[in-house]
Amino acid sequence: MAYHYVLTWSLLASVIATIVAFGLIVFLWGAFLDKHEHDPGRIRAVMFIMLFAVTSTEIGLVLFGVVGIKTTLLAMLVNLWGGLDALLRFPAAHDLESWFSAKQFSLLLVKTVCYAFGFIGFRQHIGKFIALILLNVWGLPVLYLMALPLDPCEQVAEEEYDVDLAVRVITIDHHSRVVIVLSCVTSPWICSTKMVS
């Protein structure tokens, strides 16, 4: 079995390319934010596209056999509970000591550790790992923080939108059960059709 060098010129080139790509993304994102500073709906829409692109990249990694399926499923859960939740709350401002910030940071750590141990043939794909960690895992929060408005009047989102995604799902489930129970009380025929479907 041949000895594989981990530190090679190609690895150095991929690290430099990743850093340059990240710098270019930050520059272009900053220019976009300067142009659309007072349009949080447009900024949120572009961030949804970015989250979709990151999730698609992570699905591509499992399809090409770079990471395992469990790693991708956990990464998708982090994208859903972390990234999607942050975008649904945008532009709400949260303190560093808030539950939201602690949850986001913990999920990023989980995703980083998950990818560190989830790569198949880590030595072969160390350049991809560095690019994934810098661009996909830790790059999105940097872009999110850049997008937060500096004006305190624009930072406040409506209270009904600044609720954790898990709480929203539980509330929707609880609300739908209450509606079914109330409809069963008022009209047994509706209840029987809801139970059948």
Reported as a single tens digit per residue, the pLDDT across 22-39 is: 999 999 999 999 998 888
Phi, then psi, of 39 in degrees rounded to 5: -125, 75
User: 4 and 123 in contact (C-beta within 8 Å)?
Assistant: yes
| Full-model pTM | 0.73
User: 20 and 59 in contact (C-beta within 8 Å)?
Assistant: no
The token pair that represents 126 in the structure block: 């160390």
Q: Does residue 67 sit in helix, strand or coil?
A: strand
> What are the pLDDT digits (tens) for 88-117?
877 777 777 788 888 889 999 999 999 999
Mean pLDDT of all residues in the chain?
Answer: 79
Which carries the bigger pLDDT value, residue 100 or residue 137?
137
